[in-house]
Amino acid sequence: MTGSTSLAQILFSQGFGTRRECEGLIGSGLVSVADRVCEDGAERFETAGLRLRVRGVEWPYHQRALIVLHKPAGYECSQKPRHHPSVYSLLPPPLRRRDVQTVGRLDADTTGLLLFTDDGALMHRLTSPRHHVAKVYDVTCKHALDAGQAQRLREGVTLLDDPTPVRAAACEVIAPNRLRLTLLEGKYHQVKRMLAAVGNRVEALHRSEFGAWALPLDLSPGQWRWLETEQPAADNAAHASLPRHPSP
73 with 104, same domain?
yes
For residue 185, the model assigns a pLDDT of 85
Q: Same domain for 125 and 217?
A: yes
Model confidence band, residue 62 (pLDDT cutoffs 50, 70, 90): very high
Residue 248 lies in a domain: no
Q: What is the mean pLDDT of residues 207-215?
A: 95
Convert the pLDDT of each residue in 158-203 to its tens digit: 887 778 889 999 999 999 999 999 999 878 889 999 999 999 999 9
- Cβ(196)–Cβ(153) below 8 Å: no
pLDDT at 3 over 80: no
CA distance 236 to 61: 29
pLDDT at 33 over 80: yes
The pTM assigned to this predicted structure is 0.85
Q: How many residues does the chain have?
A: 248
β-strand pairing of 51-54 with 202-210: unpaired
User: Both 220 and 180 in a single domain?
Assistant: no
Share of the chain above pLDDT 90, in %: 76
Residue 42 sits in a domain whose CATH number is 3.10.290.10
CA nearest to 125, candidates 230, 242, 244, 238: 230
Q: Where in the sequence numbering do the catalytic residues fall?
A: 107
DSSP 8-state class, residue 241: G
**What is the crossing angle of helices 147-155 and 190-197, to 10°?**
120
